[in-house]
Amino acid sequence: MKAQKAMNIMSESQIRALLQGKRLPEDARVIMSGNQAVPWHLLKLVDETLPTYRLSGLNAPQGLPRRDGVTYETSFVGAGMRGSARLVYIPARLSMVPILFGTTRKPEVLLVHTSTPRSGKVSLGIEVNILPAAIEACRKGGGLIIAQMNKQMPYTFGDGEYDLDIFDAILEVDEPLPTPPARTGQAPDAADSAAKIGERVSSRVHNGATMQLGIGEVPDAVLQGLTGLKNLGVWSEMFSDGVLSLLKAGALDPDRKIISSFAFGSEELYRWMDGNDQIRMLRTETTNAPTEISKQPGMTSVNTALQVDLFAQANASRINARIFSGFGGQTDFIVGALHAPGGQAIMALRSWHPKAQVSTIVPILREPTTSFQPTAVITEQGTAEILGYDEKRQAAMLIEHAAHPNAREFLWYEARKLGLT
């Protein structure tokens, strides 16, 4: 009983009473662990207790409360908020989001998903990200911090370790974490194009380089080409099972910590992360700081986009002027990688959009720019070198080496109109 009191373990009814007794303002801002670490039980309690509130989280998955009275706020839109009429999008690079909690987006309630205690502390596990800044702002403002303590959340070291007494309430659960769905029904040409892109990207990476990779077909294909290298490092805002592949292949430098801010992967990945001293899960202000990224040897940032234009501007955020995702960490890592010793920033994408049946290389963006001027743009067609070339040479490289053959005649015509020939 003493241990429970020290940890502020509460039942669902007690947490409801805590929320009611706090006398929160109308439309209280509720910040939650995002990505694949949403504390669903706590979110349900909040939704049952508060008639109106603002729900804030990064890349939130499907399953969020969708009703009148709930407004979504985010700087990176996930499937759970995408397309909602109640969405409030706050443009911000990921490294800048933590600043908002102390200025324009102060939290009244914070819901986090943690591990069980070890040596008197719990860990934020697979999702550290912007949460340390949110915790600090919530404590300073006198808000509520409530933890969903899960026996199956891995304990990770770094900036996400906290003493138990910072939590106003803890709800105990024991349930698996989400894992990526199996890829099914993939067209052979789609797999082939991803493999070609992956081969071209990985051929530019050398022993001892530092990698930033996400999750998906292209990053997975890139990783396949890296398994023959040695002494690689990882400095990334997130990682998935590809890191395990590099580890098993002996490609990782055993003397370098794996630095990240959040993770999403298989049960095997989560078991490997649990108590692993080689991994450091750090706050976004560190992982995404261009100054820190630029210190990493051979820093290689691999990102993707919806479109790239002939001025090497990339749109990775909007479709028909409507927000689809956000800046995320793309601009942070592109700038950091370009300033790193031996660094490079790669924009990797297919040359043709299979569903829309349009070229992804366009004359000039009609959407707001997410990022610009990478080292190179790589598609299944080839590699367009960008950095250090004049604008006419850049446009020619994009048309001849990155664009789909079906789009080249049109792109040349538009390039002449834009003064790029």
- Cβ–Cβ < 8 Å for 301, 344: yes
Tell me which amino acid residue 204 is.
R
Q: What is d(CA 31, CA 107) in angstroms, rounded to the nearest whole number?
A: 6
Burial pattern 68-107, b for ≥16 Cβ within 10 A else e, equals: eebbbbbbbbbebbbeeeeeebeebbbbbbbebbeeebbb
Catalytic entry in 73, 108, 217, 237: 237
Beta bridge partners of 353: 358
402 token code pair: 């990155």
- Cβ–Cβ < 8 Å for 147, 138: no
Q: What is d(CA 71, CA 64) in angstroms, rounded to the nearest whole number?
A: 11
Pairing relationship of beta strands 313-315 and 371-372 according to DSSP bridges: antiparallel
Please name which of 77, 40, 37, 36 lies closest in space to residue 56, comparing C-alpha atoms: 77
Q: What is d(CA 131, CA 107) in angstroms, rounded to the nearest whole number?
A: 11
- Cβ–Cβ < 8 Å for 194, 217: yes
* CA atoms within 13 A of residue 55's CA, in its CB half-sphere: 33
Q: What is d(CA 357, CA 407) in angstroms, rounded to the nearest whole number?
A: 11
349's CB contacts (< 8 A; 6+ apart) are 197, 218, 304, 305, 306, 308, 360, 377, 378, 379
- Cβ–Cβ < 8 Å for 86, 71: yes
Neighbour tally for 249: CB within 10 Å = 16
Beta bridge partners of 314: 308, 371
Q: What is d(CA 232, CA 244) in angstroms, rounded to the nearest whole number?
A: 13
22 token code pair: 């706090």
Reply yes or no on whether 237 is catalytic: yes
Q: What is d(CA 233, CA 343) in angstroms, rounded to the nearest whole number?
A: 13
Give the H/E segment covering residue 211: strand 210-212
> What is the 8-class DSSP label of residue 285?
H
Residues identified as active-site: 237
